[in-house]
Amino acid sequence: GAVVSQHPSRVICKSGTSVKIECRSLDFQATTMFWYRQFPKQSLMLMATSNEGSKATYEQGVEKDKFLINHASLTLSTLTVTSAHPEDSSFYICSAYQSGHKPDTQYFGPGTRLTVL
Amino acid sequence: GQSLEQPSEVTAVEGAIVQINCTYQTSGFYGLSWYQQHDGGAPTFLSYNGLDGLEETGRFSSFLSRSDSYGYLLLQELQMKDSASYFCASMTTDSWGKLQFGAGTQVVVTP
């Protein structure tokens, strides 16, 4: 099956710094990528939908100025957590989807665990 | 709005059969997917139902009834490695590919 990678897998940063997470589709072109956040023992919460070449669409309650998303190419989307605070510590997961395909052709990355001290 | 409800935890012994129910309230409902997630890992796709009825994939099967806004995942011949969280997720017609996840069901398999 298709592979989606995320980098870094783990990151620890100080409060107030910014962290960039990359999501790459390795062997297919992803017209759409989704960013999720998952707190311990909870479900995946969709943060935003990222379409190549256009602005991301954010879910209600997600601050677009805090969580900057860039989808510059069909294989790369980045999520930047700006001025991170301890409450931003979470597991961030991206998924990549190829438009026009069946719903099961959405592939998840391995996730990035962010710890803000 | 959208919501999906599933049990929080199910415990069963190896070799048993487990059914995880999922009821949904989703406007513009298109289909229901099921994902497995082990601790610290990424969700992996298990099954998808776009039409009513049963979909079988090896030991895992999934069922959908649109009229009842209900689906289930059936895990057969349980193995220890099946201990994980299982999520149902709905897809709608207004945003292709976008998934709304249920809260997840923790399946604990005991010897």
- Average pLDDT over chain A reads 91
Give B42's contacts in chain A (Cβ within 8 Å): 93, 108-111
Q: Provide the pLDDT for residue A17.
A: 96
Average pLDDT on B97-108 reads 93
* First-last CA distance in chain B: 41
Which pairing describes strands B44-49 and B18-26: parallel, antiparallel, or unpaired? unpaired
Q: How far is A44 from chain B (nearest CA, A)?
A: 6
Higher confidence at residue A73 or residue A1? A73
Give B43's contacts in chain A (Cβ within 8 Å): 44, 93, 108
Give A49's contacts in chain B (Cβ within 8 Å): 95, 98
CB within 8 A of B23, min separation 6: which ones? B4, B5, B6, B68, B69, B70
Q: Provide the pLDDT for residue A1.
A: 62
Whether residue B41 contacts residue A111, with contact meaning beta carbons closer than 8 Å, is answered with yes
Whether residue B106 contacts residue B96, with contact meaning beta carbons closer than 8 Å, is answered with no
Buried b (16+ CB within 10 A) or exposed e, A100-111: eeebebbbbbeb
Give A108's contacts in chain B (Cβ within 8 Å): 42-45
Q: How many CB pairs under 8 A join A and B?
A: 56
- Return the ∠ at Cα A82 (arms to B99 and A7), rounded to 5°: 60
Report, in this order, helix, strand and coil percent for chain A, each rounded to 5: 5, 50, 45
Tell which residue, B100, B109, B108, has the closest CA to residue B5: B100
pLDDT-derived band of residue A92, with 50, 70 and 90 as boundaries? very high
Burial of B55 (0-12, 13-18, 19+ CB in 10 A): middle
Cβ-defined contact of B97 to A32 (cutoff 8 Å): yes
Whether pLDDT at A100 is above 80: no
Residues belonging to chain A: 117
Cβ-defined contact of A43 to B30 (cutoff 8 Å): no
Higher confidence at residue A39 or residue B92? A39
Whether pLDDT at B104 is above 90: yes
Summarize pLDDT for B23-69 with one digit per residue, the tens. Answer: 999 888 989 999 999 998 999 989 999 999 999 989 999 999 999 99
pLDDT-derived band of residue A98, with 50, 70 and 90 as boundaries? confident
Q: Provide the pLDDT for residue A72.
A: 82
In sequence order, the β-bridge partners of residue A9 are none
Summarize pLDDT for A42-69 with one digit per residue, the tens. Answer: 999 999 999 888 889 999 999 999 999 9
Summarize pLDDT for A73-85 with one digit per residue, the tens. Answer: 889 999 999 999 9
